[in-house]
Amino acid sequence: MRQLRLLALLAAAPLVLAAAPATEPALSGFSDASSRVERDWEAKFRAIPDPANMREYMKRLSARPHHVGSPYDKDNAEWILSKFKEWGFDARIETFDVLFPTPKERRVEMIAPTKFVATLAEPPVAVDPTSNQQSEQLPTYNAYSIDGDVTGRLVYVNYGVPEDYDRLQRLGVSVKGAIVIARYGHSWRGIKPKVAGEHGAIGCLIYSDPRDDGYFDGKTFPEGPSRPEAGVQRGSVMDTLYVGDPLTPGVGATKDAKRLALKDVEVITKIPVLPISYGDAAPLLKALDGPMAPPEWRGALPSPYHLGPGAAEVHLVVKANWDIKPIYDVIARIPGSVYPDEWVVRGNHHDAWVNGAEDPISGQVALLEEARAYGELLKQGWRPKRTIVYCAWDAEEPGLLGSTEWGETHAEELSKHAVAYLNSDSNGRGYLDMSGSHTLESFFNDVARDITDPESGVSVWRRLQLRLIADAKTPEERKELRERGDLRIGALGFGSDFTVFLDRIGVPCLSLGFGGEDDGGIYHSIYDDFYWYTHFSDTTFVYGRALAQTTGTAVMRLAGAELLPFRFTNFADTVNRYLGELQKLLKGEQDEARERDLEIEEGLFAATSDPRAPTFAPPSEAAPPHLNFAPLENTAEALTRSAQRYDKAVAAARANGGAVLASESVKAVNATLLGVERATLDPAGLPRRPWFKNLLYAPGLYTGYEVRTIPMVREALEQRKWDEAEEGIVRTAKVLDNVAAVIDRASSELENLAR
């Protein structure tokens, strides 16, 4: 493997360094002349990032635990600030004061049928030099769990997502008055205590099953990368009604901001919750009896998985210090030479749960190396046309606090000035993860075609395309992957610092990172550190360099384009797909409800129940009504026409070497284009969570990480709120009409210029 990597590196080097041949087509948004200049600068840029530097930055930034409120968190922010300044940025730290609970008391004990006290501790590992910094490590806990002291019978709920509770009902198991034990995975962790509480549970334990990131994948740390027996995933469990500081929803957590009283905070969990290792979970699960868990619910622990409740009774205590802590966002700028009022914003957080070499430092070191490379280019005479803003966020881990408070504080400016926000978080070996706003899908594909994959020597775009073809399930999927031209990018929901930009301010976002070849089980544990990363992940930092090259190229290109390189045909295509999905979802729910009713009527459930392991009929629910999708269908068609017209206008403007693009008057078109993504916002926001204003993308209220596209309609369908679904169709159609109108305005402006 190592040898292969070396060969690939050698093969890749000339490609990285070679200047662009003169025959290459002009970059999207550039005239021929400026495209050549841009390509030259980009090639120079891509030759600069150095894996050895990234290794040094990581060593320094992950040397000690650096969670919110710790001395090393502040120390890191100041060090990052000094680097930005050294590289010629205009940089400063912006401070906010946020609610950040830390553990005061934690206890998990089994009181029946046998006694067992959970260790709730991650032991140091001899070969790993930072794992013994216990005096500075945050204990294992879930931030924003409510304080509680509860005793109850234990029930195993699989991943603890809503479908799991439907299944429990069928199996005759109730969690009322119980403490549930759920395994990590298949949802944002905060969903687990939320859904458990809604079903009447009084406490929640979340553990890492070895099936999901432990020995089932291979050797455990330190012999291998997987989660060791005592490894625990810390993490926030804040409800996603809004993100950022729980005390200041919608406004920046500045010194004198108006703050909610703790008792009025809705995003703290309703029941106490604590994460545990599989070492601590094994005796608890072993003590369960009751029905066997369904086969797909069983993990990789050696004893049978029963559901409970039975004799196993657990006592859970969680108490926190509910303190306000300062956080430090490092913000650095290079002013634009032509459009200083248009900002390209790039960020990655710097805080971690513990040492956090992978999360977030592996992303942060790429960001820093991009910044250093810009410093080099500035010395050589390069000037970005637009202002570049680099952000090292604090307090992402507890709930995206650093980016959200900054975004809320500067919302008005960002709404006026932000062209795009590019985020990374962690990085590893493998494939480029391409997600973001679909107005940038085509642009993102173009950038990925220009970056060389360090392992295979083909472009990162080509490698991803071939991976997707290998994984495709149908001939149609393979055909599309080969013939569509652009690869589809995933939509963004939640889970990193792009959230405030996309969901609240309507800034087009991209999320970048490599991965897929590093199995591992150190996420949010003390073992996510320099030793682990340099033994088991991107050990030579060549993917760190690839990330810096990819993101840095994207930032430069966005900052240098004469016409902003948005493309709306991809966007319209995606909206049409989402519409199709919604119609299919409704049809599926109707069919399912009818089938279930028929089965109840036939007596299927009673007749097939095994008296020794009885199962129960699901509740009968009325079939969903037919809904009128016409407003969305009409608007989606109109959007497609607007997008096609814009494509034509751009093609006309590019005639004669794109002289029109190079003219001063293209400025007005750019100003209009800034309004396209903003138009996806509805000031009223989503039902029950008005903080979220984007009617195209939102995190799922019951999935968290997983995005809900056209969320007002989709979530209403999922939650059987038919009136709300109809209202959502109308409101989303109106928003998309506004989007189409802005695109049309940009088209006429461009058409007038080309005339």
Residues of the shown chain interacting with Zn ion in the complex, contacts defined by CB under 5 A: 359-360, 425
- Of 360 and 384, nearer to Zn ion (C-beta) is 360
Distance CA(411)–CA(681), nearest Å, equals: 13
What residues have CB less than 8 Å from 407, skipping those under 6 apart? 414, 500, 501, 504, 505
Cβ 360 to Zn ion shortest distance, Å: 4
- Of 270 and 350, nearer to Zn ion (C-beta) is 350
Inter-CA distances, 507 with 12, 457, 681, Å: 35, 34, 10
Cβ 618 to Zn ion shortest distance, Å: 39
Cβ 507 to Zn ion shortest distance, Å: 20
- Of 196 and 400, nearer to Zn ion (C-beta) is 400
- Of 511 and 709, nearer to Zn ion (C-beta) is 511
- Of 272 and 428, nearer to Zn ion (C-beta) is 428
Q: How many CB atoms lie within 10 A of CB 300?
A: 13
Closest of 46, 58, 55, 52 to residue 20, by C-alpha = 46
- Of 277 and 362, nearer to Zn ion (C-beta) is 362
Cβ 352 to Zn ion shortest distance, Å: 8
Q: How many CB atoms lie within 10 A of CB 556?
A: 25
Cβ 353 to Zn ion shortest distance, Å: 9
Closest of 564, 503, 563 to residue 692, by C-alpha = 503
Distance CA(189)–CA(184), nearest Å, equals: 7
- Of 65 and 308, nearer to Zn ion (C-beta) is 65
Q: What are phi and psi of 53, to 5 degrees?
A: -65, -40
Cβ 77 to Zn ion shortest distance, Å: 16
Distance CA(46)–CA(373), nearest Å, equals: 8
- Of 64 and 153, nearer to Zn ion (C-beta) is 64
Cβ 100 to Zn ion shortest distance, Å: 16
For 337, the token pair is 């030479």
- Of 279 and 360, nearer to Zn ion (C-beta) is 360
Cβ 514 to Zn ion shortest distance, Å: 15
Closest of 631, 625, 633, 628 to residue 579, by C-alpha = 633
Cβ 361 to Zn ion shortest distance, Å: 9
DSSP 481-527: HHHSSSPPPBPP-SSSTTHIIIIII---EEE--EEES-----TTSTT
Cβ 235 to Zn ion shortest distance, Å: 10
22-29: long-range contacts, CB 8 A cutoff, minimum separation 24: 26/654, 26/657, 26/658, 27/446, 27/557, 27/561, 27/565, 28/442, 28/443, 28/446, 28/561, 28/565, 28/567, 29/557, 29/561, 29/562, 29/563, 29/564, 29/565, 29/661
- Of 130 and 574, nearer to Zn ion (C-beta) is 130
Apex CA 137: angle with CA 102 and CA 179, to 5°?
Answer: 50
Does residue 323 sit in helix, strand or coil?
A: strand
